[in-house]
Structure 1
C-alpha cells in the first residue's frame, strides 16, 4: 500500500484538483496500533497530500461494496459516481497494480 499512497501523493502535488484519502478499516481492539502505523507511514514516507484515516468497522460502509477478502480496495470517484474500482488480495498490490490504478486517474480528472 505504501507505494500506492506515495504515488498518489506525488500526483496530487502535480495536480491539486485531485483529492485522495486512505481509510484503514479496523476493529476497536486494534485501533491504537493502526493509528501508530498510519502516523509512521506518513512520517517515514513524507506523505503530505493524502490524509490517512481509520474507520472502526472491518467491513467498511456497505455502499462502498468492499470486495470480500481484499486487503486493499481503491475507489476512484468523479463527483458522486465511482469511475473505477480496484481490489487487491493480500500481498497482490504490487508495482503493476499501482500502475493500473494510476492509469485510471484520467477518468476522474478534467483534462
Structure 2
C-alpha cells in the first residue's frame, strides 16, 4: 500500500458483544505480530456482517475489493484455506479497482 497512495484498506472483525474483549485482544495481537500500524483494525458487533455483503457463515476470511461502495471482487476462504497463492490472486484483483 505504501507504493499506491490511492489504495486504502481496513480490517473488520465480525463478533458478538459477548466475545468483544477476546476480539480486541486478537486484533491487538495481529497488529503487533504483523507490524500493522497504518491499517485500521475494527470490530463489528454482528457475526453475520452487513446483510448486503452476504458473508458466508463458514468463512474465516472474506476479502472485498470495492470502489465507491461497489464491490468489484470478492474472495472467500474457509478456516486454514488462505495461502500465498491466494494472496497473489487477491492482489491481481486490485486492477479492478485501480483501473490498471
Instruction: Report the TM-score, using the length of structure 1 for normalisation.
Output: 0.83
Residue 94 of structure 1: aligned partner: 83
1:2-81 to structure 2, matched below 5 A, reads 12-81=1-70
Compare relative contact order (CA 8 Å, sep 6+) and give the higher one, 1 or 2.
1
TM-score by length of 2: 0.92
Residue 2 of structure 2: SS of its match in structure 1? helix
- Alignment length (residue pairs): 100
- Per the TM alignment, residue 48 of structure 1 is displaced from its structure 2 partner at its CA by 2.4
Partner residue, 1:108: 97
State the 1:110 CA deviation.
4.2
Does the residue aligned with 2:31 lie in a helix, a strand or coil? Answer: helix
Q: Is the 8 A contact 1:13 1:49 kept in 2?
A: no
Describe the SS at the equivalent of 1:14: coil
* C-alpha separation in 2, matches of 1:91 and 1:50: 23
Structure 1 runs of 4+ with >4 Å offset? none
